[in-house]
Amino acid sequence: MLRQTNLLSGLLFIVLGLAFGLVATGYRFGTPAAMGAGFLPVSLAVILSALGLAIVVQSHLRAAEPVEWGSFWPLGVVVGSIVLFAVALRPLGFAGACFVTVLVSSFAGPRVSWLQRLVPAIILAAVASVVFAQLLGLPVPLWPSFAW
Amino acid sequence: MDLLNSLALGFSVAVTWQNLLYCFAGVLMGTLIGVLPGLGPVTTVALLLPITFALDPVSSLIMLAGIYYGAQYGGSTTAILVNLPGESSSVVTAIDGYKMARAGRAGPALGIAAIGSFIAGTFATIVIAAFAPVLGSVALKFGAVEYFSLIVFGLVASIILAQGSILKALAMVVLGLLLGQVGTDPTSGVYRYTLGFSTLADGISFVALSMALFGIAEVIFNLQKGEERVDGVVENVGRVLPTRQDMMDSAPAIARGTLLGSLLGLLPGGGALLASFAAYTLESKVAKHPRRFGHGDIRGVAAPEAANNAGAQTSFIPMLTLGLPANPVMAMMIGAMMIQGIQPGPQVMTSQPQLVWGLIASMWIGNVMLILLNLPLIRVWVALLKVRYTYMFPAIILFCCIGAYSVHNSGFDVMLMAVLAIGGFILLKLRCEPAPLILGFILGPMMEENLRRALLISRGNFGVFLDKPISLGFLIASALLLAAIAIPGVLKLRQTAMAAQ
């Protein structure tokens, strides 16, 4: 029964509201005339939780709509390739980071040959390097730090 | 004569060779990316946003605007030729447009879409030039109280077009407001929700958030569905220029679509989507032979195309004069302005006239370029329609990474984008729309500042929002809007609109 979009989103909003609210209790609340840093966050968090609760209640009145999570493979590969970009930027340089990100992310899609993965990776890395590093002057080392 | 002087200033800014170049580049790239199946204007603008950072503020906004209407037009091309609307605002165009294309009349459908958009764009530019100063001078008289209520109204309006339950859309607005709280509290200097990361002291990067929600999360969602084979591309475009009969049939439809679109674009939450649906519905009601609608009637292409272009352009009015975004694309324009160091709001009209008028003038120039560009380049666009998603999505991911990185040159923002993308994916799966969240995020800091100021002046009395007539008006309007969304009739219209998506 937890596999239902409305119920699950309601619960998610309640939890998020509680989390935001609890953290915000650490900030000074203040008064309406002189609001502290915590005034709006706490108020918004309470509203979020209340809305979440209303969504949970409403979900019992409406027809259930099941959540279809689908395969987590694309999610994992895509997120992994993004993290890789951030990590690879210093050691591999901009061109290298672009290349590995495109190459790795291509595994999130359907099966294609290695050539069909490598060629786009090389082309995109080259185009991105020219456009962003050369033309737009992104302050980032273009080549691997061990190159010279 | 003030208007003429302002327009003259605008054209003097827009007709420098470099701004013409950026406008052209924006229109070209916007169309190029917008034509790709499955990429709508919001994603296109998000993807191309970082390219504009290196430019000066005027050029960057001119280019972004060009990207926006370029992408809008590109989406219509996709809708007509493959029946795969990239964005919801071209859904209705696909109904009659694709039928025309199948019947060998792809050329006239594309032609009338371009001509209708151009006429609508020209009219909308005049509307902007005439109304922006008026609204801007009214807005200058707004105090913190009025502003707060206006923002509340804007946020409520943003949920009109959200899919599914109203409560979920409201919760997304509030979540957006909370995400906007991350960073240093401007009044006390306290770090809020930074979780110990000093890089979060400036808040969540707007680019990282919008790319995560509209770029990455979408990609993951699409990949899960597996590759949709792009079938039935109509490749034989033929003569692009519509016949005399086509023009005669379309003229009144274009006129009505333009008027309706200009009006609906002004409303926060409205913009292009509502405009194209309303225009199509209106045409099918007033037309002489309504039965032909849905079977390749040229009026069914002309009216919504004129309306969505007019709506897209007039939605700049609340953005320029009030600093209020009517849709996610306008939220990105505001984000871009802030990255350029311009505080959006009514003062922009007076403090940056060359920016505002340069942008307005460039819109018209951009519309001319759009029509000059599209008629001869149709064949190139047709070729692009066949690009497989398999080769497209790694490029989208790479562009998002570079974009998130380029704002502060920080790898942290790239990591943040990855985390936000997971959140965005979960929300998409739970059928929570990202658009209200992004508007809440943009408007959050502005709302807090005005709420604080208003209550400071009123010594903590919340009644002040009801005492001032303008503020009361906005609050009543918000309440009416909420009630209206709940009324069955409107609900049904929403449902038909959503079902068509």
- The answer to whether residue B347 scores a pLDDT higher than 60 is yes
Q: How many domains does chain B have?
A: 1
Q: What share of chain B is helix, strand, coil (3-state, %, to 5)?
A: 75, 0, 25
Q: How many CB atoms lie within 10 A of CB B198?
A: 9
Contacts of B224 in chain A (CB under 8 A): 70-71, 74
Beta carbons of B398 and A65 less than 8 Å apart? no
Under the banding of pLDDT at 50, 70 and 90, the label for residue B81 is confident
Rg over CA atoms, chain B: 22
Beta carbons of B394 and A28 less than 8 Å apart? no
**Chain A nearest C-alpha distance from B151 (Å):** 15
Under the banding of pLDDT at 50, 70 and 90, the label for residue B434 is confident
Question: Looking at chain A from residue 82 to 111, which residues have their Cβ under 8 Å from any Cβ of chain B?
Answer: 82-83, 85-87, 89-90, 97-98, 101-102, 105-106, 108-110
- What is the pLDDT averaged over residues B450-464? 89
* B71 or B284, higher pLDDT: B71
How high is the ipTM of this complex? 0.92
- Whether residue B152 lies within 8 A of chain A, CB to CB, comes out as no
Contacts of A138 in chain B (CB under 8 A): 402, 405-406, 409
Distance CA A8, CA A1 (A): 9
DSSP secondary structure of B279-309: HHHHHHHH-SSGGGTTS--THHHHHHHHHHH
Structure tokens at B268: 């926060």
The percentage of chain B sitting over the pLDDT mark of 90, rounded to a whole number, equals 16
- The answer to whether residue B122 scores a pLDDT higher than 50 is yes
pLDDT at B317: 87
Segment B209-219, tens digit of pLDDT: 988 988 899 88
Mean model confidence pLDDT for chain B: 84
Q: Which residue in B181, B220, B456 is closest to A40 by CB distance? A: B181
Task: List chain A domain ranges.
Answer: 5-61, 73-135
pLDDT at B495: 61
Question: Looking at chain A from residue 45 to 74, which residues have their Cβ under 8 Å from any Cβ of chain B?
Answer: 45, 47-48, 51-52, 54-55, 58, 65, 67-71, 74
Segment B417-433, tens digit of pLDDT: 999 999 999 998 998 88
- Whether residue A129 lies within 8 A of chain B, CB to CB, comes out as no
The percentage of chain B sitting over the pLDDT mark of 70, rounded to a whole number, equals 92
Mean model confidence pLDDT for chain A: 87
- The answer to whether residue B406 scores a pLDDT higher than 60 is yes
pLDDT at B427: 93
pLDDT at B163: 60
Most confident of B281-290, B326-335, B480-489: B326-335
Contacts of B452 in chain A (CB under 8 A): 35
Under the banding of pLDDT at 50, 70 and 90, the label for residue B41 is confident
pLDDT at A43: 94
Contacts of A68 in chain B (CB under 8 A): 429
Beta carbons of A75 and B425 less than 8 Å apart? yes
- What is the pLDDT averaged over residues A70-76? 90
Distance CA B171, CA A45 (A): 10
pLDDT at B272: 66
Question: Buried b / exposed e across A126-144, counting CB within 10 Å, b at 16+?
Answer: eebbeebbeebebebbbeb
Residues near B196 by beta carbon (within 8 Å), at least 6 away in sequence: none
Q: Which of A20-34, B227-241, B431-445 has the lowest mean pLDDT?
A: B227-241
Mutate to test the interface with A, among B155, B178, B410 (most CBs of A within 10 A): B178
Torsion of CA A138, A141, A142, A148, to 10 degrees: 160
Mutate to test the interface with A, among B181, B229, B448 (most CBs of A within 10 A): B181
Q: Which of B44-53, B78-87, B175-184 has the lowest mean pLDDT?
A: B78-87
- What is the pLDDT averaged over residues B316-344? 86
**Chain A nearest C-alpha distance from B104 (Å):** 34
Under the banding of pLDDT at 50, 70 and 90, the label for residue B338 is confident
Where residue A137 falls (left for φ over 0; alpha for ψ -120 to 50; beta otherwise) is left
Q: Give bridge partners of residue B184 from the DSSP assignment.
A: B191
Distance CA B392, CA B387 (A): 7
- The answer to whether residue B444 scores a pLDDT higher than 70 is yes
Segment A97-121, tens digit of pLDDT: 999 999 999 999 888 888 889 998 9
Question: Looking at chain B from residue 255 to 314, which residues have their Cβ under 8 Å from any Cβ of chain A?
Answer: none
Question: Do residues B360 and B129 touch, judged by C-beta distance below 8 A?
Answer: yes
List the alpha helices (DSSP H) in B191-315.
206-211, 217-225, 244-266, 272-286, 299-314
Q: Give the domain extent around B26.
A: 2-141+149-500
- Whether residue A41 lies within 8 A of chain B, CB to CB, comes out as yes
Contacts of B426 in chain A (CB under 8 A): 12
Beta carbons of A32 and B177 less than 8 Å apart? no
pLDDT at B415: 95
- The answer to whether residue B20 scores a pLDDT higher than 90 is yes
Question: Looking at chain B from residue 395 to 424, which residues have their Cβ under 8 Å from any Cβ of chain A?
Answer: 395, 397-398, 400-402, 405-406, 409, 411-412, 414-415, 417-418, 421-422
Distance CA B120, CA B263 (A): 12
Distance CA A91, CA A94 (A): 9
Q: Please identify which residue in the block is written with the tokens 């493959």.
A: B82
Rg over CA atoms, chain A: 23
